[in-house]
Amino acid sequence: MAAGGDAAGDVDEFDLLEKRIGELAAQYAMLKVEHARLKDQVREREAELVSLKERVARLSNERGAVRARVDQLIRKLEGMDLR
């Protein structure tokens, strides 16, 4: 506060402090909303990751099954006398 009990200076400083607190409160509210949005986005990405991992596992299993069938067909062809 202002030296010598200057009431006008005290009021100006109080107004400035009040303004800064209001700005901080507004910024806090915006950050809180942003945090909630980002948490939702992380949850969505985690669910997407789980889904993609399941898909990769399924496709890997399918590829293994297809490979086994192709190997079996190749063995049959190799066993045939094609001359």
pLDDT in tens, 18-42: 999 999 999 999 999 999 999 999 9
- Give 83's pLDDT tier (boundaries 50, 70, 90): low
Phi first, then psi: give them for residue 3, nearest 5 degrees.
-70, 150
As a whole number of Å, the CA-based R_g of the chain is 35
22 part of a folded domain: no
What are the angstrom distances between the C-alpha of 76 and each of 58, 60, 82? 27, 24, 11
| pLDDT at res. 81 | 75
Instruction: Flag whether pLDDT at 16 surpasses 50.
Output: yes
Number of structural domains the chain divides into:
1
Q: What percent of the chain has pLDDT over 70?
A: 92
| pLDDT at res. 2 | 47
Domain of residue 59 covers 37-83
81 part of a folded domain: yes
| pLDDT at res. 80 | 87
CA dihedral sign of residues 35, 37, 43, 49? negative
| pLDDT at res. 33 | 98
